[in-house]
Structures are given as C-alpha cells and as structure tokens.
Structure 1
Amino acid sequence: MTDAAASVALAPKPSIDELLDACEVSSMDGRHREGAEQAEEVLLRPGVTPTEQAYARHLLSLHRLRLGEHEASVKEGLLALEFLTGSGDLVRQSKLHCILALAFTETHLNETALRHAVSALDAARACDSPTLEFWALSRAGMVHEALGDPQYGLELGRQALALARTLDDPEARFAGLNNLGDACLTVARAQLAQGQSASLALQEALALVEESVQMAHEQAHSFWEMIARTNLVSILIELERYVEAREQAGLVKGLAQAQSSRYMELSNDAQLAEIVRAEGNLDEAVTMMEAQLADPDAEQNPALIIELHKSLFEMHKASGRFEQALAHHEQMDVRMLDMTIQTAGLQSQMLINTIEIEHAHHEAERSRIEAQMERIRAEELDHEAHTDPLTRLPNRRALDRELPPLMGDERAKPLCAAMIDLDHFKRVNDEYGHATGDQVLTAMSNLLRAVTRDTDLAVRVGGEEFLLIFAHTSLEQAELVCERLLASVRTYPWETIAPGLTCTVSAGVSQLKPFEVVSEWLARSDAALYEAKRAGRDRVSLAPA
C-alpha cells in the first residue's frame, strides 16, 4: 500500500452531520449522483436517529428527482414525510411536498401532485415563510398547467413572482421569472393553435425570460443561464426572430458543452433544426433531425425522439414524401406507445409504493392504538383489583401495596392511623335492608374523602370498617380531624336515605412508633377503637403513646 493510500485508509470517516451538510451542498451544486450516495451512506450508518433518517431521505428524494428517478424520489419522500408530519417540522414538510408535487407532475399523476402542492402551500403559510410560499405557489402553478388550466397556472405564477421580488433570494427570483416566462409561452402556443393572437403572451414571456437571462449572467450561474437562454430561443422562434434565436442557440450550445451536459446539447440541436425549419429550409432541417435521431445519446430523451419524428413526419408530408412521412409517423406512434406503457408502469409502481407506505403507517398506528388500549385496560384492571367496588375507595390490597413505602418515607412522618367503624351498623341492615346499608357506606366514603388530603389514605378494610392514614400529622392533629369527621357524620341528613335513619361512628387513633411494624401499629388503632366502643361509641379514643 502506498503512503497516500494508507493515509486515505486511516482518515476518519465523516460524521453523520458532516455527511448531511455535504449532501445539501451537493444539491446546491447540482452534483446529484454524489449527493444521493452521501444520503444513502447516512441511512446505512449505525446509530442514525429518526430525525437524521428523515433529513437524509428528504435530500435523497430531491437528488433522485433531479436524476430522473421518480419512483425512488417518491418512495424516499413519503418515508421522510411520515416522520416529519409527526414531528411537526413544517419547513421540511413544505419542501418535501414541493418535491413530491414535481415528481408526480413529471409522471403525469397530476391529481396527486395537486394534493402535495396544496399541502406545501398550507405548511408554508402555517410557518409564515414567504420563501417556502413562493416555491409552493410555483409548484401549484406548474400542476395547474399540467392539469390543462394554463390560465390559472399563469395567475399562480404571477403571484409567485410578485412574492419572489420581495425576497433577498436570487434562486427564487430566477425561478419565478423563468417559470412564469415558460407558462406565458405555453399559453401563447395554445392561443396560436386555436388561431388566436398570441402577441401579448409572447411579449410578456420575452420580457420575463430576458430578465431571467440577465440575472443568471450577473450571478455567473451557467446552469441557470443555459435554461433561461433555451427558453428564450423557443420564444424567439414563435416571434419569428430567427437571427436572434440562432444567436441565442449558439450561446446555449457553448454553455452546454462547458457544463458537459449532453442532454442539453441534444435539446439545443433540436432547437437549431426548428429554426432552420421555421426559416423554410425543410431539406436542411430534415437532414439535421435525421442526424439527431441517429445519435445514440438521443435515446436518453424519449420525449425529444417523439418530437423529432413528429417534425419529420410533418416536413416529409409537406414535401410530398409520403412514404418517409408514414415511416416517421409509425415510429412516432411506436415511441409514444412505449412511453405511455413505461409511464403507466411507473405510475402504477409509484401508486403501489404510496399505498404500501400508507398501509405500513396505518398498521403502525393501529399497533400503537392497540398497545395503548392494552395499557389502559391493564391500568383499569389494576385499579379495579385495588378498589372497593361499592365505595370506590382503595381496598385492603391497595393498603398492603401503599402503606409499607409510606412508612419507610421519613418525609411523610409523623404518621397516624385512625380505625373508623360505623356504630350499630348491623341494626341499619336489619331494620332498613342491605340496599340502604350500601347507601350509608357510600355516603360514609364521601365524608371520609372530605377530611383527607392527597397525601393521606382512606381505605375500606371490610364491612363497615374504614382506615385513615394521615401523613405529616401528629396524634393531636389526627384526633382533631377525627372529631370533625364524627361531627359531620352526626349532622349528615341520613333521613334523605331512609326516614328516621341516624348514624354515628367511633374512631381509634395511634401514631407510628420508630421501628414499629404494620401489624403492631394497626393493632393499637384497633384497640383504641374498641376502647371508644366500650366507652359508649360516637367518640375518638387515642392509643397510649
């Protein structure tokens, strides 16, 4: 291994953040193949977070779109969008919706594209970003044009450009000018096809695209300038200004060669042939277009091949060469059929991918809801197991779970336990019935809640017996609380439950001693309760300290 190779091998790998930054720079520089590789490397890195995955998929979706890989672009974009929608990142949501709108438009799934364009606009306005709103308006204009409504597309393009002129963003301004100029050209061609005057639309298109050419040149942005001058050639041909069109086409060819863009060179050659045809030199134009069809690189652009066969059909027919015209017409039909089949297949796969991703999302959401329901049900079962069904107070099982930790918490001390028992409750059941007895117990639980705090415990330990555990409470304070409880029981309107009904309770209170166990502590409260009963009931008795 050479020293240089060893140095490369030992060089530390870039971090995920560094890769993502480099991937974004690749996008801005137009190095989409390299950018796609960088994004894919991020996705393969161990420890990549969901946020980083979404960012990488967002960039990968853009790179795949620029490489013409629409199916892959949509798949990555939808996966990223699923996470971003949940995260609430409106900025990236808007950008992704714009990418998806363009991908679906270029594959003629215009209704789906429109939904993404509208979502992009909603997200942009929700996060109050004029720049994002510009891009969303631009995409919406393109979609409406593809849907066969060029006039509304034109109106959206004008709104987008007006917004771009308020921004300190050269890319947005250039795109606004160039896109609107292209939209005006589309309207003009539709008008000419219907035998109408297209002068106003062509003049507007010319002014816009000339401004975009000037801006691209001032920015020294060769790619922008190549795109803008290509549009300018098309407009000049429609205006029959062939000398200027030829001059501009020559500039485009030089830019395309400097950029090593064979795709743009082929498009430029086709424009030059169209200029020759428009000037009336049909034979020369035929020779040029035949040569372009013979170029193997032309296979990279099926739409261009169809346009060449169409033009050759028309020119051979106009020259009376019907056999050649028929041959080109047949080739045009074959190519259009192939392109339609390929587009239909791509559309189907894109829709299948969309459905699969949505199905996976719904399945994940269903699993989440089911898990949440299971958790809620488990909590309900746990609550039921530790709750008395009649009074809805905690039961003895809850006491066994909650009391030991409370006793071990020094911050909760002093602790006092009050054993509460309804006096002569058997007589209530015997004279008034068990249904009335249940109503008495329910009313009693409400009275207990009224004298306890969130830090206290009120428990039904069985039958007509209840237990109160007071935290941060001395024996004297616990006695006062129990006296208030006894007074509230005496004055309660028991006659509303049954005529002539009266109830009282007795209470035995003890304070927890150091190192005392639960059974001993509660036994002392029981003994104090027995003492209150023996002394005549309806009273509070304190266990000896």
Structure 2
Amino acid sequence: MAAHGGSGQQGSDRLALLETAWHGRDVTPEQAAQTARAALKSPDGARADVILAYLDWRAGHYSRSAGRLGRAMPRLERGPGLPDVWLGRALNTLANLHSLLNQPGEAATLFGRQLQLARDLDSAELEASGLHDLGVSQFLVGDAVRAEAHLRRALPLLDGLSDPVGQGIARLNLGILNLRAGQPQVATEQLLRALATVWGGPEAEVARAPELPWLESRLRRSLLEAAEAAGDDRLVAEQETALRRLSTRAPDHLEIALDIALALSSRAGPQATLEQLRPVLDLARRLGQEQHAGLVCAHERLSEACAALGDPGAALDHLRAALALERATHAAEREQQYRTLEVLHHTRVLNDIAEQERQKNSQLLSDLRDLQTLNEHMRRLSLTDGLTGLYNRYHLFLEGERLSARAAPDRPLGVAIIDIDHFKRINDRCGHLPGDEVLRTLARLIRDFAQPGDLAARYGGEEFVLLRPGVSAPAFAADLQALRQAVTGFGWEAVAPGLRVTVSIGVAEACGPHFEAGLGAADQCLYLVKNTGRDAVRFCHSPECPPGPA
C-alpha cells in the first residue's frame, strides 16, 4: 500500500475516516463530501479528491469530476510506495466518466487497468466494481452477452463483501438485462433477491428504506415492469402499493417522484395519468427544476393523455414543452461533453499509467486481451441501436447536424419521423417480445427503402428517423408513401396472429445550423398526422429553411 502522510495516529485516523466516507458515499453522500473536503489540504488530499470526483460524477458535474481526477491520479500513481486501492477507485470513476461521454473504448481500457491493479493488490472490491461497471458499460452500447457475463462474475465477489447496496445494484442491473432479453420471470427473481439483499425481511425494509429511496424506486419500478410482462397481477398490485407508500416518504425528491409517477401511470387511463404526473410538474416548478431532462417523458405522456381526453390544445402544449426541453437537454449535454473532454485533454491523466502496469497472472492477461479486442467492437456498437441495428440517437444528431450544415434551401436535407401507430396496444396485446420483433421488422423495411446516402436511425421507443440529402419535403413525402404502403401490406401475421401495423410519418426540411429545428418541424407534422387518423404521410416546412423547388 502507498504510504500516506501525517504523523502516527492522526494520519491513520484520517485515512480510516476517508475509507468510511468512501464506503458510505452512496448512502450518505453529504457526509462523505464533508469528510473529504476536510482532508483536501492534508497529505491524503488525493484520496479526498477521489471521493469528491465520484460524488461530482454521480451528481452530473462531469468536468469538475474530471478536473479532480486529473489532480489526484498522478499523485496516487507517483507517490511514495506502491499504488494502492485509491488509484483503482480513481480509475473506476474515470472509466465510468468516459462511458457516459460515449467513449466505450476508453472506458474498457480503464476498466482493464483497474482489473490489473485489483489482481496486483488482491482487492475483491476493485475486481468486483471493475467487472460490474464494465458490464454496465457494455449493456449501454447493446452488448448484452458480455454485459451479463461480467455482471455474473461480479456477483460472487460482491456477495463476499459487506456491501448490500452494491449487491442490490448488481442484481438490479442483471434484472433489467434479463427483462430486456424477454425473460421476465428470471428478471423478477433477480429483482426480488435485490430487495431482500438490501432491506432483508419486511421489518428491516420498513426501518432502512428511507435511507435509500432512490434505489428502492428503481428496484420497484423495474419489478413492476417485470411483473406486468410475466402477468403476475398480485406482484403488480404489491409494487404499485409500495411505490405509493414510497412517494409519501420522499415527497420533495423530484427524480424519485418522477420515477414513481411514470411507473404508476404506465398502465393507467388518461385521467389517472393526469392525476399522477401533474403534481410532478408542480413539484419541479416549486424546486426550480423545470429543466430536468426526465420531464420530457412526463410531458410526452401528458400529451397523449390530454389528446385521449379530447383536449388537443393541452396536448400540443405538452408536446411543445417536451420538444423544447429535449432541445435544451441536448444542448446542455453537448456543452457538458465538450467541457469535460477539454479538461481530460489538458490533464492527460492516462499517459503514464498506460505504460506502467504489467499483467501478473494468466486470468488477467486473458481479461486484458478480451478488453483490447472490445475497443473497436464497442466503438461500433456505440453508434448503433442494439435492438434494430440502425444508427442510434447519438449518431443521428452527430451526423444530422453535419448533413444539415452542408444543405441549403435549394438542396435541403429531407427529415422524416416514422412512428408506429398504437404501439403500446401492440405491446399490451401481444407482449414485449412480439413488440420487439415489430421494431426490428420495421427497421428492415426502412433499411430496404433507404437509398445510398440516406441515414436511418432509431429516434427512441417506436420512433425512427430517415434523413435524405438534397430532397424537398413534398418530394420526400411522396416517396415515403411507398414505405407506408410496404408497412401496411407486410405479413404481420407471422409475428402475432391478427396483428396489423401501420405508421404515421411527418416530413420536413433542414438546412444550415438548424437540424433540430427541421426535426422539430417533422415532429409537429407527425403530431398532426396522429390527430387526423394516423396511417398517413404529411409534410411541413421548417421556418429556418424556406421552401425550395419540389
């Protein structure tokens, strides 16, 4: 272990306090931050910076987290004695930061270095967190097979540690992975075990749940979804009751209130949806958090509810609010990413680390070779949607802005949003597996329709986007009738008996630095199609891109 400064008992006591702060960082983050700040100017300041960097990362302050790691890691790596577990904790935090910045290759390399250090130090904590977080990073880019393998390797290590919260989070992630793989029964078992691991029996649950409402809300929302997919009405009712009870214990926590309201409104009628979600918007206004990114889903669901209740004006207001919030979120995310990458570039915290650590056993060598081959594979996956194989939302905006910048009013970029009509009904009637097959099949039909130079992407949920350079909205809309007819005429009976699928398509144009405006105009067109019967194509002109020749 690296030597830590301070004389005698004082230095040992300070390091013990920092260890306690690290292990309590998720349960009592304010207390952990207070302990770390008190030690910043001490000889253990680098370790204190690692705790604060982790808390900054969790709170979404990415550039600040990167700056702290840039200060701490060289001191931890080059200090007196051998590197210790704190360097591994810093590597883990930096790896997760790169994963959030959509740099899965960099993240995989850093996780590999963490695992190497874990074996050198014989640290079960570092090995467990490295394997778990690598699995989560792989899941985020659609590599479910490797994600599950690493999560399952992490579980026995976590079970051997006195960390019920870590065990619960690992089982939560495994449950979500099983649920997305169409295994609701397996997911239910994992999620119930997660609840039992963190809270124990019913009496322990009542006593400890207020300490971890964020984890309980995520577990119970996932368990509710798994129970619905498995057709377990008793478990559905239990989780709905537990979520309502939880909402009274954390009344002023926006993320928890939003999580619970979205879960409870998923099966509710339109009036009940309004009653569930409107108080969340009131809470956001009261807390001054009206720009919270999660409110996009709330506005979209409220828009659907208002439309179903015959209030198109309110429905349009909520849709506009969702679009404005989504644009603001994208802009903030891009600015945050640029700032963070600039900090990482200037600090260059990984230059020396990459050359120093050496593999010391055959298992680690195998892991590192596997991680190195993953870099390019994960880079490709980071640009594609795991379910449909089309480009994902991130690549859509990246490439869409580039294509729009090259366009002009006389040769605009055609923008089409394609939405499956009544997709929730398909999921409710046929199940999530046939629903997934509908998404994959529509993706194939869009790919077959696309021309060279087009870009097809999954926009989110049941929405897809097709971009075509050099075509006006009227001409693009006319061409897209063929796609609409191909969807209507497809043999959906092979997916589920009696299944019929149609799509609504909104078309607009983009040019110059106004890609999001073109996308927004297409979205408005799509809304008009859905409110005038669906199964149609309609075009609009974006005000930022005056109409050119058809």
Aligned in 2, Cα 1:159/1:284: closer, same or farther, shift over 3 Å?
A: same
Identity of aligned residues (%): 19
The answer to whether structure 1 residue 290 and structure 2 residue 278 are counterparts is yes
Report what 2:267 is aligned to: 278
CA spacing shift, 1:123–1:26, aligned 2, 3 Å:
closer
Larger radius of gyration: 1
Give the counterpart letter for 2:51 in structure 1.
L
Residues 257 and 284 of structure 1: CA distance in aligned 2, closer, same or farther (over 3 Å): closer
Query: Counterpart in 1 of 2:257?
Result: 266
Write the deviation string for residues 31-86 of structure 1: whole angstroms up to 9, x where unpaired: 32343243233223xxx33xx12212122222323443332222212322222223
Q: Distance in 2 between matches of 1:138 and 1:331?
A: 37
Query: What is the alpha-carbon distance in structure 1 between the residues aligned to residue 62 and residue 248 of structure 2?
Result: 26
Structure 1 residue 108: Cα displacement = 4.2
Q: Displacement of 1:94 after TM fit?
A: 2.0
Q: Given the alignment, which residue of 67, 78, 81 partners 1:75? A: 67
Q: Distance in 1 between matches of 2:59 and 2:278?
A: 27
Q: Distance in 2 between matches of 1:101 and 1:287?
A: 41
SS in 2 for 1:342: helix
1:226–1:255: 8 Å Cα contact kept in structure 2? no
Residues 1:150 and 2:144 aligned together: yes
Structure 2 counterpart of 1:118, which letter? G
Change (3 A) 1:110 1:306: farther
Relative to 1, partners in 2 of residues 1:360 and 1:108: Cα closer, same or farther, differing over 3 Å?
closer
Shift of 1:310: 2.1
| Contact 2:265–2:273 under 8 Å retained in 1 | yes
User: What CA distance in whole angstroms lies between the structure 1 residues aligned with 2:146 and 2:291?
Assistant: 29
Give 1:283 deviation, angstroms.
1.7
Q: Distance in 1 between matches of 2:66 and 2:327?
A: 24
Q: Which residue of 1 aligns with 2:109?
A: 115
**Per-residue deviation, residues 516-540 of structure 1 (Å, max 9, x unmatched):** xxxxxxxxxxxxxxxxxxxxxxxxx
| Mapped partners of 1:359, 1:167: distance in 2 | 30
Partner residue of 2:37?
40
The one-letter amino acid of 1:25's match is: T
User: 1:51-450 residue pairs with structure 2 within 5 A?
Assistant: 52-87=44-79, 88-165=82-159, 169-185=163-179, 187-188=180-181, 198=182, 200=183, 202-218=184-200, 221-222=208-209, 223-224=211-212, 227-228=215-216, 230-240=218-228, 241=232, 244-252=235-243, 254-255=245-246, 258=249, 262-263=253-254, 265-271=256-262, 274-279=263-268, 281-295=269-283, 296=285, 297=287, 299=289, 302-318=292-308, 321-358=311-348
TM-superposed CA distance for 1:213, in Å, is 0.7
2:380 equivalent in structure 1: none
Aligned length: 330
- 1:20 and 1:249 map into 2 onto residues whose CA distance is 43
> Which segments of 5 or more consecutive residues in structure 2 lack a partner in the other structure?
1-8, 356-550
Relative to its length, the structure with more helix (as a share) is 1
CA–CA distance in structure 1, aligned partners of residues 242 and 69 of structure 2:
36
**Aligned residue identity for 1:282:** P
The answer (yes or no) to whether the contact 2:214–2:256 under 8 Å persists in 1 is no
Contact 1:226 1:252 in 2 (8 A): no
Confirm or deny: 8 A CA contact 2:296 2:325 kept in the other structure. yes
- 2:265, 2:276 within 8 Å by CA — same for their partners in 1? no
Q: Distance in 1 between matches of 2:282 and 2:249?
A: 23
Identify the residue that residue 481 of structure 1 maps to in structure 2: none
Letter in 1 for 2:344: T
* 1:154-184 deviation per Cα after TM superposition (whole angstroms, max 9, x unaligned): 2322222244345565444333222212332
CA separation in 2, counterparts of 1:359 and 1:96?
A: 11
Aligned-residue offset at 1:224: 4.9
The letter for the 1-side match of 2:67 is: K
TM-score for both structures, normalised by structure 1:
0.53
Report the CA distance shift for 1:35/1:130 in structure 2 as closer, same or farther (over 3 A): closer
- In 1, distance between residues paired with 2:335 and 2:63? 10
Q: What do the CA deviations read for 1:423-454 (whole angstroms, capped 9, x no partner)?
A: xxxxxxxxxxxxxxxxxxxxxxxxxxxxxxxx
Q: CA deviation at 1:152?
A: 2.6
- Shift in Å, 1:329: 2.3
Contact kept in structure 2, 1:39 and 1:60, CA below 8 Å:
yes
Q: CA deviation at 1:270?
A: 1.6
Give the AA of the match of 1:175.
I
Is the Cα–Cα contact under 8 Å of residues 39 and 48 in structure 2 kept in the other structure?
A: yes
- Give the structure, 1 or 2, with the largest relative contact order (CA under 8 Å, sep 6 or more): 2
The one-letter amino acid paired with 1:126 is D
1-structure distance, mates of 2:290, 2:19: 27
> Residue type of the partner of 2:196?
Q
Instruction: Return the letter of the residue paired with 1:208.
Output: Q
Output the CA distance in 2 between the equivalents of 1:225 and 1:32.
Answer: 14
State the TM-score, normalizing by the size of structure 2.
0.53
Alpha-carbon RMSD: 3.3
Tell me the secondary structure at the aligned position of residue 142 of structure 2: coil
Shift of the 20–307 alpha-carbon distance from structure 1 to 2, 3 Å rule, reads farther
How far off its partner does 1:207 sit? 0.4
Residue pair 2:73, 2:349 contacting (<8 A) in 1 also: no
Residue 303 of structure 1: SS of its match in structure 2? Answer: coil
